[in-house]
Amino acid sequence: MSAPVHRVLEGIPAAPGIAVGPAHPLRIREPAVPHVTIPPDLVEAEVEKFHAARAWAKRRIEELREETRRRLGPIEAKIFDPQLAMLDDPELVERTVQYIRDGYLTAARAFNLRILEIRSEWLNSTHAMLLDRIADLTDTQLLVLAKLLDLPDTDLLHGTPDRPAVIVARELTPSVTVRLDPDRVLGFVTGGGTRTSHASILCRSLGLPAVVGVGDAVDEIAPGTECIVDGLRGRVLLQPTETERERYRERAEKARSLQRELRALAAEEPVTRDGTRIELLANIDLPSEAVWAAEAGVDGIGLFRTEFLVVGKRSIPDEEEQYEAFRAVALTMGSRPVTVRTFDLGGDKFPLFLEIPREENPFLGWRAIRVTLDMPELFRKQLRAILRASAHGRLQICLPMVNSVTEVLETRRLLEESKAELREEGKVFDERCPLGIMVETPAAVFTAEILARHVDFFSLGTNDLVQYALAVDRGNARLARFYDPFHPGVIRMLRHAIEAGHAAGIPVSLCGEMASDVVGAYLLLGLGLKSLSVNTNALREIKTLIRAVRLEEAQEAARAAEAASTGHEARRRLLETLGRSVDLAAFESLEREGEG
């Protein structure tokens, strides 16, 4: 094996935190399936064997689900449901049986062949949700094969580390993630995977730093190679230099003290130096994140994305399951508001129960409110679930990608029908549950005055607004330098939408990444926004910012930024004004920028 060299691998930040330790490569070994055929009189016995292995695998998954529920909670436990569904899926079961009967294959061969076919179909798909599911498929494959080939299932894992280490693997499956001894795992690095894959979600719940999608380079990481996993930035340093080690030790220490500070800061109000109270809300992707946000002292949840309910599902999520998730967050937040956004599907997010249209430009295609209005069965279940959960807290409904009043009116009609049904069923709900929209297209911005007459609030979505305003795909790394939230064109749009909302007397907030960025949030305060919804890992910085600024100065800086001729110039002007009254060294994210 070649001598370890100093290298930096770039990947996707999947779970925050910093881990430092030796690499422990974990190979998930696919067992060799013998190439034998069977005589015709043994065919039915082989079919039986397959069904028995399937039943056994389901029991094992159920056990793991129960263990996960106890350790991490009910939402994390649900991560195993798609594997159970997969084992009953006719696409898998019937085709395997057919291969046994028609091809005289052993159950192991037939099943493995069908799994390989499904995997190659999914790998060739461009849809993120299918890629997210590949590790689930591997989990299922390994379990069933272990039974059919009579292997102890521990054989499939190439040993867990005997001392604390960074687990390095091509891919991480949900069952491997939860089965590893947490005392011996410092963090994870994987070649494949996405931020929304089930293993990544589990890493976040386990509080273990993870970087995924670093590519084939994982195969070259030798056992024992010293690694630093930076789960916030999506970076892995191999054989780091002494200076890097020092810097990360400091950073890890700083992160720990920031956590302590955040707890202390929870008690402090987000009030500007000249006395304006700003509403500080949190964005969450999972119900469990609300608990943390509540402890951090936020004023509410400004964006609760609900796509986690459909990732990997073959059927429309039922009302009860959704109701439980929304109710959990409503109860956690108590009297504080929670904005539940209806399914923002399409673009790069398609669940398995939707007929996936082949589109040239998915982000300009069948997305968000267009999908849900076309699928009333899906939409109604979600609206009913939110309404029912509204009885347990202060929920409000937010519609993604709205472009016209018609979309709002159609939704209102469905909402009223759902309310009438619930009344008839004797179910309680908040009759005045507010209905608002994401303002995230240029059309919505410039018709904000009209839209404001029909909705109860605006939530500005700069992640999409920037992409549509500048015609720059938000996910295209090659265009990243053109994706500029400080472009004067974007600033003007923001001012327009904020002022239109305020003039109409409805609450306006902003939940795009811009609110989680120190300079972005400063601009937004200057543009008159009194409510920001930020990512949980940015709460501390944004609260510190709010408490350090004067609104009058921010307003002056925003006017200067708006008059700049480029985004670069606009941002420079904002930083300049901010730096005059605030110690910029207090903001770690600004410091990181300097490192490139």
**Which positions are catalytic?**
198, 511
Check binding of 464 to Mg ion (CB under 5 A).
yes
Question: How many residues bind to ligand PEP according to rule CB under 6 A?
Answer: 10
How many C-beta neighbours within 10 Å does residue 503 have? Answer: 11
Find the part of the chain contacting ligand PEP (CB under 6 A) among 107-115, 148-156, 268-276, 460-468. Answer: 460-468
Alpha-carbon gap, residue 16 to 27, rounded angstroms: 24
Q: Which does 404 bind (CB under 5 to 8 A by kind): Mg ion, ligand PEP, none?
A: none
The one among 68, 403, 462, 531 contacting ligand PEP by CB under 6 A: 462
List binders of ligand PEP among 336-365 (CB under 6 A): 344
- CB closer to ligand PEP, 280 vs 511: 511
Query: Least separation, in Å, of the C-beta of 363 and Mg ion?
Result: 10
DSSP assignment of 430-484 equals -TT--EEEEE-SHHHHHTHHHHHTT-S-EEE-HHHHHHHHHT--TT-GGGGGG--
Check binding of 553 to ligand PEP (CB under 6 A).
no
Query: Least separation, in Å, of the C-beta of 437 and Mg ion?
Result: 11
List binders of Mg ion among 433-452 (CB under 5 A): 440
Check binding of 285 to Mg ion (CB under 5 A).
no
- Compute φ and ψ for 128, nearest 5 degrees: -55, -35
Helical H runs in 274-403? 288-295, 319-333, 369-374, 376-389
List binders of ligand PEP among 148-167 (CB under 6 A): none
Find the part of the chain contacting Mg ion (CB under 5 A) among 19-27, 281-289, 457-465, 546-554. Answer: 457-465
CA distances from 507 to 32, 255, 331, 437, 546 (A): 61, 34, 23, 11, 19
Q: Over the Cα atoms of the chain, what is R_g? A: 26
CA distances from 403 to 67, 175, 285, 298, 465 (A): 45, 42, 24, 30, 12
Q: Which does 141 bind (CB under 5 to 8 A by kind): ligand PEP, Mg ion, none?
A: none
The one among 160, 463, 537, 589 contacting ligand PEP by CB under 6 A: 463
Q: Which does 305 bind (CB under 5 to 8 A by kind): ligand PEP, Mg ion, none?
A: ligand PEP
Alpha-carbon gap, residue 545 to 332, rounded angstroms: 26
Cβ contact 407:467 at 8 Å:
no
Q: Which tokens in the block code for residue 286?
A: 């999972």
Check binding of 464 to ligand PEP (CB under 6 A).
yes
Query: Least separation, in Å, of the C-beta of 417 and ligand PEP?
Result: 27
Query: Least separation, in Å, of the C-beta of 361 and ligand PEP?
Result: 16
For residue 581, what are the β-bridge partners?
none
CA torsion 39-40-44-46 (nearest 10°) is 30
Check binding of 440 to ligand PEP (CB under 6 A).
yes
Check binding of 511 to ligand PEP (CB under 6 A).
yes
Three-class SS string for 173-226? CHHHHHHCCHHHEEEEEECCCCCCCHHHHHHHHHCCCEEECCHHHHHHCCCCCE
Q: Which does 511 bind (CB under 5 to 8 A by kind): ligand PEP, Mg ion, none?
A: ligand PEP
- CB closer to Mg ion, 307 vs 449: 307
Q: Which tokens in the block code for residue 592?
A: 């990181």
- CB closer to ligand PEP, 290 vs 303: 303
In the bound complex, which residue of the shown chain has the CB atom lying closest to Mg ion?
464
Check binding of 589 to ligand PEP (CB under 6 A).
no
Q: What's the N-to-C CA distance of the chain in angstroms?
A: 32
Alpha-carbon gap, residue 96 to 108, rounded angstroms: 9
Query: Least separation, in Å, of the C-beta of 302 and ligand PEP?
Result: 9
For residue 12, what are the β-bridge partners?
212
Check binding of 305 to ligand PEP (CB under 6 A).
yes
- For residue 12, what is the enclosing H or E element? strand 12-15
- CB closer to Mg ion, 383 vs 514: 514
Pairing of strands 210-212, 165-169: unpaired
Q: Pattern 92-131, binding to ligand PEP, x per CB under 6 A?
A: ----------------------------------------
Query: Least separation, in Å, of the C-beta of 400 and Mg ion?
Result: 6
Cβ contact 171:138 at 8 Å:
yes
Alpha-carbon gap, residue 282 to 301, rounded angstroms: 5
Pairing of strands 226-230, 18-25: antiparallel
Pairing of strands 12-15, 235-238: unpaired
Check binding of 461 to ligand PEP (CB under 6 A).
yes
- CB closer to ligand PEP, 461 vs 520: 461
State whether residue 582 is helix, strand or coil.
coil
List of residues 6+ apart from 321 with CB closer than 8 A: 78, 309
- CB closer to ligand PEP, 322 vs 577: 322
Question: How many residues bind to Mg ion according to rule CB under 5 A?
Answer: 3
Nearest 5°: CA angle at 61, between 58 and 67? 145
- CB closer to ligand PEP, 407 vs 440: 440
Find the part of the chain contacting ligand PEP (CB under 6 A) among 62-70, 93-101, 459-467, 497-505. Answer: 459-467
Query: Least separation, in Å, of the C-beta of 163 and Mg ion?
Result: 44
- CB closer to ligand PEP, 60 vs 367: 367
Q: Which does 276 bind (CB under 5 to 8 A by kind): ligand PEP, Mg ion, none?
A: none
Q: Which tokens in the block code for residue 34?
A: 């013998």
- CB closer to ligand PEP, 50 vs 468: 468
Find the part of the chain contacting ligand PEP (CB under 6 A) among 189-197, 264-272, 456-464, 575-583. Answer: 456-464
Alpha-carbon gap, residue 538 to 592, rounded angstroms: 14
Check binding of 289 to ligand PEP (CB under 6 A).
no
| Positions that interact with ligand PEP (CB under 6 A) | 303, 305, 344, 440, 461-464, 511-512
| Positions that interact with Mg ion (CB under 5 A) | 440, 461, 464
